[in-house]
Structure 1
Amino acid sequence: MLEPFVDPLPSTEPIHPISTYNGMPFYHVSMRQCRQKLHRDLPPTTIWGYNGLYPGPTFRVSRYEPIIVLWTNELPCQHILPIDTTVHGAEEDKPEVRTVVHLHGGVTPDLSDGYPEAWFTNNFEIVGPYFRTKLYEYPNQQPATTLWYHDHAMGITRLNIYAGLAGFYIIHDQEEQLLPLPKGSYDIPLLIQDRSFDSSGALFYPSQPDPPIPSINPSVVPDFFGKVNLVNGKIWPYLNVEPRRYRFRILNGANARFYRLSLSNAQPFYQVGTDQGLLPYTVKVDKLLLAPAERADIIIDFSHEAGNEIVMRNDAMSPFPQGDPPDPTSDGLVMKFRVNKPLSNLDESHIPKKLSYVPKLVPKPFYTERKLLLNTRPDSVKRNIHLLDDRFWSEPITENPSLWTTEIWSFINMTGATHPIHLHLVRFQILDRQSFDQDVYEKNGKVVTTGPKIRPETNEAGWKDTVRANPAEITRIIMVFGPYTGLYVWHCHILEHEDYEMMRPYIVIR
């Protein structure tokens, strides 16, 4: 057992442009295999990192200032984790190591979105019917928010992200800057992920589910939960803080683990933002639930905690919500705050009540409403295949909204797990959740509701790009499709589900 809270929290490395391209700042990021020390008592671990860093360097950009990024694959030809070649997109005729970068939550043209089949190798070989350039343009037209970039290669996303291919992408704007929120060194991104290690300190990812599949080796697993939590690439780190307010941009970057975060002194979080930017009002929460890919922009006030030590804990079940609770001595620990630094200057920040205007999208009778099933089927060896609307990736596209139309998507979850559903390109609002009778649906395909429509939690009241669709519930979201046409995807962000068919293409047409 590794000792917790012996390593300081790493600061995420900033990245800066190296030149300009067509008048826009130009960045170059290389994916490389490196060795990095993830805990004081572990030998250096082989990881894959953007610019050789795990997590990758942090972009901080300004709204209305587009940038260009050249993504380069310099990884070896052999993967460091087990690949199931029966998974669609990862067959034996494909190179083992393939990457493509998706800016999660980014409003980008489709050629810069990171389509899963637009992967390239370390020789920039591009295979398949969808050609995508490795030179991406990010328009940065959206309001201030915390995004992240990560790998999205077809059939091996779960492995590439687990190996380390993830980083922050933060957009700033004038509205955010004028708010009295903590700034500069008091504005800290936190990437939370779970991992396991073997006795040599190498990343461990299982090659078989439980029970194992003798006829397929390696085999995809239904989900995976690591034994320890890392924050910014360190296992259970600590952060020395001053007795003042801090802003933390928290990202759940885990493959499948949900986090329900709280502080050991029962102090609340003050949430000011969600996936796609500022909330309309600050929301006080005692516990913060985040599914994979969700973000929360929070303030913790240490003003009256001088000399104290506060542990951030996790008590979310795995799988969520029907699984086992975490061990409070391992996966129930996240990090520690030590309020042991002197106040360097007067804390002029405060926690504003009002944050931003968020116009409410209201359903209208003429809006297209799509009823979309979340379900499973057994494969030939009785592994569960998680599906969207009972369709595989390769089936014809069925979601084809027109540019600038508003649609309502209703996710009818027939499975026993909560699925974080993510749509590329668009931001949306959660309308409501409503329970239904699963037995009736299984018998005759009819949706019979069993309770009232429940509005989203107050800290979900802003713009979102990932929504928790709970079991035996209908989750409704509303969004406007734009500003680009083209080919995008929607999927579950439990990466094991996404890789094994719980992802579908959709197209925005003119």
Structure 2
Amino acid sequence: MDRRRFLRATSLAGGVLLLPELGTAPARATPGTRLPHADDRLYRTPIADPGAIPRFVNELPRPTRVNLLNGGDRTLVMGPALQDVLGGGPGLRTPVWGFGQAGTARRRGGAGGAPVTWPGPTLVARKHRPVRIRWVNALPFEHMLPVDTTIHWAYSHTDRTIADHGVPTVVHLHGGHTCPEDDGHPDAWYTPAGVTGPRFARTRFHYGNDQEAATLWYHDHTMGLTRLNVYAGLAGFYLLRDDRELALIEQNRLPRGPYELELMIQDRMFHPDGRLAYPDVPASSPLWQGGPSVQHEFFGRVITVNGRAWPYVEVEPRQYRLRLLNASNSRFYRLSVGGGWPFPATWIGADGGFLHKPHRLDGPLVLSPGERADLVVDFRDLRGAVLELGNDAPTPFPKGAPAAPPTDKVLQFRVTRPYDRKVAEPLLPGAFREAPYRVAGSPARTRRLLLLDGRDGFGRPKPRLGTVERGALGWNDPVTEDPRLNTSEVWEVFNATYETHPVHLHLAHFQVLGRAPFTATRDPRTGALSDISVGRTQPPDPGETGPKDTVLAPPGQVTRIKAHFDKCGLYVWHCHILEHEEHEMMRNYRVV
């Protein structure tokens, strides 16, 4: 790495998009037009030049795996660590937050402690083998990133401070089928000093693992701090196995052991000394009084995989299973190798489990924040090849600025490891489920939900959730989604904004039914829609034929999903662009 070039301060930053406020939107709107651009000089202190960081000189880290296949208890600690994120020679260490394992399991086979890392250790569990995890908050009494206290956050309307009471946190198992007390509700936070949020229940969470095999992940979900705590490093994989998947592995129908790789993709920025940088100046806010500000979106220009900037991985000329996760705050990825796949790449699993049949990729793979994809890739005919996994997703997605270096590359595969002939090649099955995933039962109700844009009291962009009939609703407005226990519902999500939003439901896995374009008249005061005209429905993509918990809702379209609600209590649904979620694009829903 050119250390002097890296240390040079620049004005590069994450782009922020300015969108029209509700009151100035046209009465008749056809969402989906091209997005404007905004000033990106959003940092108060110098940041380093991302283009000076060498790509593909550092090996891909592999998260430590914690074997929970027999269930039992574990203690995981959230705390600070120093980590070599940039590599390449300058000797810079980046302060991060992460998860480490403490103590031993009560059941036989437990392991000792492990250091705090970003990402945290990969937890490998098994269906019907319950796991209890005590999440210990050992975070500092100072946040490493700029905290905006003008938005609704954990300490709002109190005299508490991070300096006196510590950083609040709570862990959400994303995609987990959990009771409300173990779900990681954003108001269930707690601090190292023992201060707790209004919905705090406990720090030892019970995961019944009563769902099918899937690529899940755990991450911070604290009210008003999720974007910062996840950015600091509080995230990790949770791989759930079941008898069907274990049988496929045992029968050599899936890659296993060292040939199964989990890949957490995130974007970051850095200060010249190697510290994480996050913008703290609003892009445009005529009423802003100063101090750190929430961003509308964040697009870092340094792409990391498993906590390392632009790594490479050496592989054998054989088949590998890749468990891909987009854990970025706002950035979408459209992944391919040179625009296509010069080797067989087969999509086998969605967020919540296997697809019906393996789907051979013939074009780029789109992953929104929070989504996962389970792939099998075949390097057998590429001995000695060097292949670069690229990204060409616009920011914001899908009509923003085109991807440009250095964000156009993610990871390098080097097919240079000796082929182990003692390991037989797996033969993928023709189908992973008997039929495409379906949510059973006739829908008890169809709800019409709304995604729309607005501005806060300081003039900053503030995307909102709501209903078609009522328009925009805030976090503190009464619950409008109240499905009855053990019923199924169809949710129609109308996106009246200019960009795609990844919509995530806690608790429920859902079936994607399809999408259709729409036009409507929008109330200039409330944002409610009327005179709706819906076009022809398009079926779900092949990669959506498995259970989902996060779905792309494109601009100008209504996205229809069907979900079953089988646990009582209060949960949330929200946009998984973390900056949107933090600035009120999140709502409670209650199963009654």
Q: Give the TM-score category using the shorter length.
A: over 0.9
Three-state SS of the structure 2 residue aligned to 1:436 is: strand
Give the superposition deviation at 1:217: 1.6
Task: Determine the structure 1 residue equivalent to 2:148.
Answer: 84
Give the superposition deviation at 1:270: 0.5
2:297 to 223, 229, 233: 223
Contact 1:245 1:350 in 2 (8 A): no
Letter in 2 for 1:465: D
Q: Which runs of 5+ in 2 are unaligned?
A: 1-51, 101-115, 467-471
Correspondence 1:14 to 2:87? no
Task: Determine the structure 1 residue equivalent to 2:215.
Answer: 146
Three-state SS of the structure 1 residue aligned to 2:133 is: strand
Correspondence 1:241 to 2:315? yes
Letter in 2 for 1:394: N
Letter in 2 for 1:7: N
Task: Determine the structure 2 residue equivalent to 1:360.
Answer: 438
| Counterpart mapping for 1:285-364 below 5 A | 285=361, 286-327=363-404, 329-345=405-421, 346-357=423-434, 358-361=436-439, 364=442
Q: Distance in 1 between matches of 2:477 and 2:582?
A: 16
Q: Distance in 2 between matches of 1:86 and 1:497?
A: 15
Correspondence 1:28 to 2:84? no
Give the superposition deviation at 1:432: 1.0
2:123 to 59, 67, 80: 59
| Counterpart mapping for 1:61-460 below 5 A | 61-90=125-154, 91=156, 93-96=159-162, 97-128=167-198, 130-179=199-248, 180-211=253-284, 214-264=288-338, 266-267=341-342, 268-285=344-361, 286-327=363-404, 329-345=405-421, 346-357=423-434, 358-361=436-439, 364=442, 367-389=444-466, 390-438=472-520, 445-460=529-544
Q: Distance in 2 between matches of 1:490 and 1:325?
A: 29
Q: Distance in 1 between matches of 2:213 and 2:511?
A: 17
Q: After the TM superposition, which of the residue ranges 172-181 and 355-364 deviates more from structure 2?
A: 355-364
2:96 to 39, 47, 50: 47
Contact 1:15 1:58 in 2 (8 A): yes
Q: CA RMSD in A?
A: 1.9
Structure number with higher relative contact order (C-alpha < 8 Å, ≥ 6 residues apart) = 2
**How many residues matched?**
501
Q: Distance in 2 between matches of 1:502 and 1:359?
A: 28
Q: After the TM superposition, which of the residue ranges 486-495 and 81-90 deviates more from structure 2?
A: 81-90
Q: Which runs of 5+ in 1 are unaligned?
A: none
Q: After the TM superposition, which of the residue ranges 177-186 and 349-358 deviates more from structure 2?
A: 349-358
Q: Distance in 1 between matches of 2:581 and 2:528?
A: 28
Letter in 2 for 1:35: L
C-alpha deviations, 1:372-396, integer Å up to 9, x for none?
A: 1111222122112111101111111
C-alpha spacing 1:15/1:242, structure 2 compared with 1 (3 Å): same
Q: Distance in 2 between matches of 1:299 and 1:274?
A: 13
Letter in 1 for 2:558: I
Letter in 2 for 1:468: L
Identity %: 42
Contact 1:244 1:347 in 2 (8 A): no
Q: After the TM superposition, which of the residue ranges 4-13 and 342-351 deviates more from structure 2?
A: 342-351
Contact 1:88 1:155 in 2 (8 A): yes
Letter in 1 for 2:138: E
1:476 to 560, 568, 575: 560
Q: Distance in 2 between matches of 1:476 and 1:441?
A: 23
Q: Distance in 2 between matches of 1:282 and 1:218?
A: 47
Contact 1:434 1:449 in 2 (8 A): no
TM-score (norm 1): 0.95
Q: Distance in 2 between matches of 1:60 and 1:490?
A: 26
Q: Distance in 2 between matches of 1:302 and 1:24?
A: 35
